[in-house]
Structure 1
Amino acid sequence: MSLPHLYSDLHGKLMDRGVWASLRARLAARSRVTNLGVVMLTVALVFSMILNMRHTTRIVKVPIQPSTGVECPERFGNVRTLLPVLPGHGKVKLTHLVIVAGHAVWKGNPALSVTDDNNWYLEDYQRGGSVQTFVKHIETGIGIAANDSSSLLVFSGGQTRDQAWLSEAESYFRLALQLSPTLPRWPQTALAATAPKSAFQPLFDDGAQSARPAASSGTAAPLMGQSTEDGGPNLAHLRMTTENFALDSFQNLMFSIARFREYTNTYPEKVTVVGYKFKEKRFRDLHARALRWPMHKPTSDGSSRFNYVGIDDANRVNPIERDNAYEQFRQDLYGCHHRLLEKRRRRNVARRLPPYASTANEISGLIDWCPADNSALQGLYPYSLPWDPRVNTGMGRGALLVMEQNGGYILQEEVLPDGKKIIT
């Protein structure tokens, strides 16, 4: 068949039904394709797709190292260089986290009693006796931390009141400075190398000590007291700090552990929580389990890794009798659905997000973990945590069990020259 030269010839060919019938017959005819042909067509198709994706997708590469080409030795290492040397570095090891969970914000008005409801930003149900319990929580936490030189006292509570810029934790810290002259301090031997100034003194001078009201009398003295060379109290000499982002009891525990890591560069070996007695079951059965905290593994000195000190309201008009949030947390261990989520949103009046995904990056996955709704224990965080036995020792649970059964020794297999095997 010759090719058409004129438009009329081309038009005639296109309109010829015989030509189209012949073409359809050729396309519909049976054909045999070999395996090699199939492979070659497949390779050509894949290669074509790769080329198309390469030319149509714009990939923006962000440099992960300085322009000098020297890679950072540690992730977030540059951030941590902003921290000063810990006062007890190399001399006092902090291993015990003491948490005082916040519940309200103290206004700090010296003209009013510490236990006066008008000196606090309170919810309606907290009026009529709760502030006396808050003060007891603070005093109890101070006493525990002051008697244990390996402890760090953390007041935990976010900026939950739209009437105040202070967080619950910051207001508790301020009140602690006035409530007790025996605050937890770094030993002088630990301060010698990093802080030559005199040790921190309570915020009351000698003349005011006799007149300084205790928490029972309920009146706070003004912030006068001893000062350092630069004119202010040296708070760095205290083993006390704040955690300013927690919005509920679960975050009180998790964020305080993260704050301990942020402050000390390590994770605690044991935790003591001071709070309401009726919340103890929630902390033990739900919060500690959600964090997979080793509740039943004692520390090296034989003490418990998790302790709870509960103090309920004694003189409230309408005492709180039960834990209304227990069932909610039982179905939603991480508090990221429905009512618990809405409660966090309602309390987060300052629209703040915690920094711990960076400053305690080993548990960043745990901080953001949110399993399916109503998953309960089936939604437990499944990945490694810094306090897991495998992480701490490099051994699995089976090896640890064998070691415990054999007096702390690992069984080893030895092959004798004659081929016999013995266990040592």
Structure 2
Amino acid sequence: MLAVLLIREILRALPLLENGQPGAVTDRTAHHPVPQLRNLIIVACHAVFTGFDYTKPEAEESWHLLDYQRVAGQAHAFVQHIQVGVVEAAQDPSALLLFSGGQTRKAAGPRSEAEGYWLVAEAAGWWGNGAVRDRIFTEEHARDSLENLLFSICRFFELTGHWPQHILVVGYELKQHRYVNLHRAAAKWPAERFHYLGTPAVNQGALEGEAGTIEAFRQDPYGCHGVLLEKKEARDPFAVGPYLAARCPAMAPLLSYCGRSTFPGRLPWSEQ
């Protein structure tokens, strides 16, 4: 009798198929909330919002800023990126907007950059574009600009069940070359289906550091070695980790690739 009861409890704990019979664990990505969306807009985040009033995002003290970011107008630049992304999404009814950025700063606590951007937009009433709210999501694992792109493509697939037809990245003008010529190429994304919308950088530190970052990605296009790896590790103080390849099986070989030349395999978007 004890054995029968034990078996009954095990069967009761198993997930059920549609016909009510025990089955395999359902893939968490099997549910795609917005399958009708076709294009991807990425706002690459640059800081964690640490304030308590999301209606005051242009106050510098509302953000956890690095030393080189402590310049007048820096908070406004973040808000500008958020607003540009929202407006672009409002103008394209088939677009999904992702704020991309992880829990990157220990002193800021376990808050993601992406969540802060989303809440700022929510507090601003989406700048009069409230209808876009259901098309705006977050990607909360990225630790650098390449991951902003790769993880956002994976997140888009999770949310829609297919790959984007077109990608638009919103960020600083100075990073356009990095995204368009290095990261896009590393992802083997077709150039004609990729665009970048940049705003002016407000701090000299970012301008001075970009040349070095570009050279580092030229030598290490997937950010797996040396200074680029060290930066990623430093930007993961809560051990959240990268996007697991299992979340996007078709991207698994690319997400785990660490070569110094372009990924040699085929990717699903090359077949679209």
TM-score for the superposition, normalised by structure 1: 0.55
Is 1:239 aligned to residue 135 of structure 2? yes
For residues 350 and 380 of structure 1, the distance between their equivalents in structure 2, rounded to whole angstroms, comes to 30
Q: How does 1:6-405 map to 2 (within 5 A)?
A: 78-81=27-30, 83=31, 86=33, 93-110=36-53, 113-128=56-71, 129-163=73-107, 164-179=109-124, 180-183=126-129, 185=131, 238-296=134-192, 305-314=193-202, 316=203, 318=204, 320-322=206-208, 323=210, 324-371=212-259, 375=260, 379-389=261-271, 392=272
For residues 111 and 159 of structure 1, the distance between their equivalents in structure 2, rounded to whole angstroms, comes to 18
Which structure has greater helix proportion? Answer: 2
For residues 175 and 108 of structure 1, the distance between their equivalents in structure 2, rounded to whole angstroms, comes to 11
Whether the aligned pair in 2 keeps the contact of 1:184 and 1:239 (CA below 8 Å) is: no
The structure whose RCO (Cα within 8 Å, separation 6+) is larger is: 2
Residue identity opposite 1:359 in structure 2: R
For residues 77 and 68 of structure 2, the distance between their equivalents in structure 1, rounded to whole angstroms, comes to 14
In the TM superposition, residue 380 of structure 1 has moved relative to its aligned partner by: 1.0
For residues 313 and 280 of structure 1, the distance between their equivalents in structure 2, rounded to whole angstroms, comes to 12
Residue identity opposite 2:148 in structure 1: N
Tell me the matched-pair count: 250
Unaligned runs of 5+ in 2: 1-14, 16-21
Whether the aligned pair in 2 keeps the contact of 1:146 and 1:182 (CA below 8 Å) is: no
Whether the aligned pair in 2 keeps the contact of 1:157 and 1:244 (CA below 8 Å) is: yes
For residues 82 and 130 of structure 2, the distance between their equivalents in structure 1, rounded to whole angstroms, comes to 12
Whether the aligned pair in 2 keeps the contact of 1:157 and 1:245 (CA below 8 Å) is: yes
For residues 119 and 97 of structure 1, the distance between their equivalents in structure 2, rounded to whole angstroms, comes to 28
Residue identity opposite 1:388 in structure 2: S
The 3 A distance-change label for structure 1 pair 156 and 112 is closer
Whether the aligned pair in 1 keeps the contact of 2:69 and 2:205 (CA below 8 Å) is: no
Q: Equivalent residue of 2:102, what SS?
A: coil
Whether the aligned pair in 2 keeps the contact of 1:95 and 1:269 (CA below 8 Å) is: yes
Larger Rg: 1
In the TM superposition, residue 110 of structure 1 has moved relative to its aligned partner by: 2.4
Q: Equivalent residue of 1:321, what SS?
A: helix
Greater Cα shift, 248-257 or 125-134: 125-134
In the TM superposition, residue 359 of structure 1 has moved relative to its aligned partner by: 1.9
For residues 251 and 61 of structure 2, the distance between their equivalents in structure 1, rounded to whole angstroms, comes to 40
The 3 A distance-change label for structure 1 pair 184 and 95 is farther
In the TM superposition, residue 115 of structure 1 has moved relative to its aligned partner by: 1.8
TM-score for the superposition, normalised by structure 2: 0.84
In the TM superposition, residue 112 of structure 1 has moved relative to its aligned partner by: 8.4
Whether the aligned pair in 1 keeps the contact of 2:121 and 2:127 (CA below 8 Å) is: no
Q: Equivalent residue of 1:271, what SS?
A: strand
In the TM superposition, residue 181 of structure 1 has moved relative to its aligned partner by: 3.8
For residues 170 and 273 of structure 1, the distance between their equivalents in structure 2, rounded to whole angstroms, comes to 18
Whether the aligned pair in 2 keeps the contact of 1:255 and 1:356 (CA below 8 Å) is: no
Residue identity opposite 1:350 in structure 2: F
Residue identity opposite 2:216 in structure 1: Q
In the TM superposition, residue 71 of structure 1 has moved relative to its aligned partner by: 8.3
